[in-house]
Each structure stands twice: as C-alpha cells, then as structure tokens.
A and B are shown apart, each in its own frame.
Chain A
Amino acid sequence: MRRGVTIRFEGIGKRFGRRVVMRGIAGQARPGSILVLTGPNGSGKSTLLQILAGLIRPTRGEVRYLDGDGEVPREEWRHRIGMAAPALALYEELTAMENLEFCARVRGLEVDGDRLRNGLVAVGLDPDRPTVVGGFSTGMQQRLKLAQAVLHDPDVLLLDEPGANLDPDGQDWLAEFVRGMAEEGRTVVVATNDRDEMTWGTDRVALPG
C-alpha cells in the first residue's frame, strides 16, 4: 500500500531582487488528488512548483511534506518527488535510454534494462531509438520528462504545463496518465493555463497576476 504524502504550504512569498513574484500563497495537496495551480503568465506558478519541489527557497512561508509518520525530512524529499517541467531539462547529448539509465543510477536505483524500456514504452517512446535527445521533437522530450519523473515510483508528482507541445492524442493520453497516477494514491500538483488540464483536479490554488 502506498504511503501518501500531503503537501502543506503556508504564507509562501518569493522575491527575486526587488521584484515580488508572489505573496502569502497557501494551499494543500492531498494523496490521491490533483491540485491545480492556475494564474496568468508571470504569476509565479512555475516558481511555486519549484518551491514545492525544494528547488527554490521561498523568501517567506514554509512547505511541509507530511506522511503517516509525521513530517518528511527535507533530505528525503528527492526520493518522494517526481517532477516534469520546462525548468528541468534532459541531457541533449544522451539518448532516451541513456537519460533514464543515468537518472536511475544517480538515484541509487538498481538499473533494470527491462524496467527502463517499459518506462519509455509507457510514455509512447521507442527504447531502441538511437537518436540523442537533442534531436527529439519538443513533444517527445516532454514524454521523456514524464518517464523520468515516474522512474523511481514517487509519491508526489509535480507537473508544470505538462500538455504543452503534445498533440491532441498525446494530450488525451496525458490526461489518462495523470489521473491514473492520482488514482494509485499519489499526490499530483499541476501548474497550468490550459482549460482542459484545469479540469483534472477539484482542488485549486489561483495565483493573482
């Protein structure tokens, strides 16, 4: 049984130099549900997602990860989080398989060729494709980012504009994929402006522009 993780964030503020990006943002993402972050361009959706991932420290406020045992220590977050975002690029000099293999090794996972291949097939990529990622279309890169995000079977999935660059069939597949992730008990947070993606979750945090 998956141990769900609740993400609680309160009073989140962030400024870059003199520019205030957000102020007093609060919310909660629960296991088995999809939290949608919305807001106009430049409202700080991507920044908030990176704050939730621990990649950026907020200027004010705090983010807490809670599971059945209490608060998850910050150094353990990386084991529990999977993330796909434009800010998280893949290695363009490596093939899709090499990228996944690197992510598995650096996370200390046992490298199982079949598991990596299945991970690529699951997102609609050909594991035998010899092309390096630099030669991929943006849609294919997006699919690979999703494969990388779920490689270590995380409890939390953070997605920034996940449907961007995907064709209509890809967007249908993505909706099913993300709903499936939540149904398996994961906590999913999606930052998006897309009207269809906004309907994925019932929980919502709207960031002011």
Chain B
Amino acid sequence: MWRFLGETMAVFAKDMRCEFRTRVAFNSLALFAVTTLAAVSYTIGPYGIAEADRPYLLGALLWIVVFFAAMAGLDRSFVKEEETHTAPLLRLAARPLVVWGGKLLFNTVTLALLMAILVPLYVVLMGLSVRTPGWFILVLAAGCLALAVTTTIVAAIVARAMSRGALFAVLSVPLLLPLLVFLIQGTRAAIEGRVPDVLAALRAVVSLGGVMTVASAFLFPVVWHD
C-alpha cells in the first residue's frame, strides 16, 4: 500500500513540477474561468437577476464556469504525455493504477486551486450571499472531486483517440450532465440554507463520484494499454 502511494506521489510530483515550469494546464483553466466569469459578471452582475431567482441561477452559473474551465485544461494531463511521446516511458515504468492515481491527484489539486481563486471572486463579483457557507464549501469540495474523477478517465480515453478536442467534450457531457444537475441543486440549497436538500444532493454527487472512481479503476488499465 505504501509503495503504491509512493509511486502515485511520484507521478503527481512529476506532473506538478512540469506544470509549474510550463503552466499549460493551469493557464488554460484560468483563462477560461476568468473570461467566463468576467463575461457573466459584466452582463448580469450582482443586480441583473431578480432576488427570487438568484440562488438557482447563480448556482447554475457557478458550475457552468467551473465546467468550462475543467473542459479546457484537465485533458492536458494525458494528452500532453501522448503528444510529447513520454506516455510509452510511463507505460513501461509504472503500474497503470499508479498513473491513474497520480493524474487524478494532479487534476484534483489543479481544479481545487482554480476553485479556491474562482469561487471567492464569483461570490464578490456576483454579490452572492450564502446562508450555510459550511455546506456550500462541502458541495464545492465534493463537486471538485467528482469532476476530477470523471475528467481524468475521459482524458485518458481521449488521449488515445485521434480527434481529441471534440471527443473530450462529447464523452464528458453524458457523464458530467447528471453530476452537474445534482451539484447545481446542492449549491442552490446551500445558498438558500435548506440543509436536508443539500444532503440529498451531496448523497447523489458522492454516489456518482464513487461509481465513476470504481469504474475508472477497472477501466483505466484497459484504456492505458490498448
């Protein structure tokens, strides 16, 4: 177990080191997130929505911004390995689950860093007031993990395909759509302070994330080697 964790951390540390030296994935994520956020806050702003519609629309817009950013940058973790021909070295040296674990950790940390910058900005620019901040953060954390799990396995599949950009979006949509629906419901409930509804949405998000994690762990070795 410790050996597996050590090898996984090696992949994660390598990805972080390479990312800090090139900033390709983080710049793509940040560019999309900031551009979308700026467009939304400029056109809608804090007062462009009626008070009654605010929790639902602001919750939905927040996840749309995060979703677009995730689509823009998280596939890079695998695509870059294929494009720079480092994937065969990784295939030869590392166990498949170690690669998957390291990439998942990298995508989770990247998305978490992005959300740590993006969400406070969104709250300020859109004048969002949250009644239960603790539950709000929990929904964001669960969403971050579930999004990272889903985009990681989709990125692995896409990296092996030829028309990468389009395929990433096409494969992600059916997998991410139910997740986004529950995340938006949970975020809205947290904004309005309806804890039982937050719990129901969280259960759904954790279940979907759990199913995706188990499915990914089984699917990844096949995707990685074939």
Q: List A residues at the B interface (Cβ < 8 Å).
A: 50, 53-55, 57, 78, 81, 83, 85-94, 98, 102-103, 105-108, 132, 148
In the assembled complex, the Cα of A132 lies from the Cα of B20 at a distance in Å of 13
Minimum CB–CB distance for A82 against chain B, Å: 9
Chain B 8-41, CB-CB to A under 8 Å as 1, else 0, gives: 0111011001100110000000000000000000
B177 at interface by CB-CB < 8 Å: no
In the assembled complex, the Cα of A91 lies from the Cα of B20 at a distance in Å of 13
Contact: B92 with A53, CB < 8 Å? Answer: yes
Q: List B residues at the A interface (Cβ < 8 Å).
A: 3, 6-7, 9-11, 13-14, 17-18, 21-22, 84-86, 88-95, 98, 225-226
**Residue in contact with A107 in the complex, picked from B13, B93, B225, CB distance below 8 Å:** B93
Number of cross-chain contacts by CB at 8 Å: 69
Q: Would you mind naming 18 contact pairs between A and B with Cβ atoms under 8 Å apart?
A: A55-B92, A57-B226, A81-B92, A85-B88, A87-B88, A89-B86, A90-B89, A91-B86, A102-B13, A105-B6, A105-B9, A105-B13, A106-B14, A106-B90, A106-B94, A107-B93, A132-B21, A148-B89
Contact: A50 with B88, CB < 8 Å? Answer: yes
Contact: A103 with B93, CB < 8 Å? Answer: yes
Evaluate whether A55 and B93 lie within 8 angstroms (CB atoms) in the complex, with A102-B10, A108-B3 already known: no
Minimum CB–CB distance for A87 against chain B, Å: 5
In the assembled complex, the Cα of A105 lies from the Cα of B102 at a distance in Å of 12
A98, closest chain B residue (CB): B17
Which B residues lie within 8 Å of A86 (CB)? 85
Contact: B226 with A93, CB < 8 Å? Answer: no
**Residue in contact with B84 in the complex, picked from A78, A83, A89, A98, CB distance below 8 Å:** A89
Given contacts A91-B14, A102-B13, 16 further A-B contacts (CB under 8 A): A50-B88, A55-B88, A57-B226, A81-B92, A86-B85, A87-B85, A88-B88, A89-B85, A90-B86, A91-B18, A91-B86, A92-B84, A94-B14, A106-B10, A106-B93, A148-B89
**Residue in contact with B18 in the complex, picked from A85, A93, A105, A108, CB distance below 8 Å:** A93
Contact: A106 with B11, CB < 8 Å? Answer: yes
Which A residues lie within 8 Å of B225 (CB)? 57
In the assembled complex, the Cα of A54 lies from the Cα of B224 at a distance in Å of 12
In the assembled complex, the Cα of A81 lies from the Cα of B36 at a distance in Å of 48
Contact: B84 with A105, CB < 8 Å? Answer: no
In the assembled complex, the Cα of A93 lies from the Cα of B21 at a distance in Å of 7
Which A residues lie within 8 Å of B22 (CB)? 93
In the assembled complex, the Cα of A102 lies from the Cα of B81 at a distance in Å of 15
In the assembled complex, the Cα of A88 lies from the Cα of B85 at a distance in Å of 6
Which B residues lie within 8 Å of A106 (CB)? 7, 10-11, 14, 90, 93-94, 98
Which A residues lie within 8 Å of B226 (CB)? 57
4 residue pairs, one from A and one from B, having the closest CB atoms = A105-B10, A89-B85, A93-B18, A93-B21
A158, closest chain B residue (CB): B92
**Residue in contact with A88 in the complex, picked from B21, B92, B95, CB distance below 8 Å:** B92
Which A residues lie within 8 Å of B89 (CB)? 88-90, 103, 148
Which A residues lie within 8 Å of B11 (CB)? 106
Which B residues lie within 8 Å of A91 (CB)? 14, 18, 84, 86
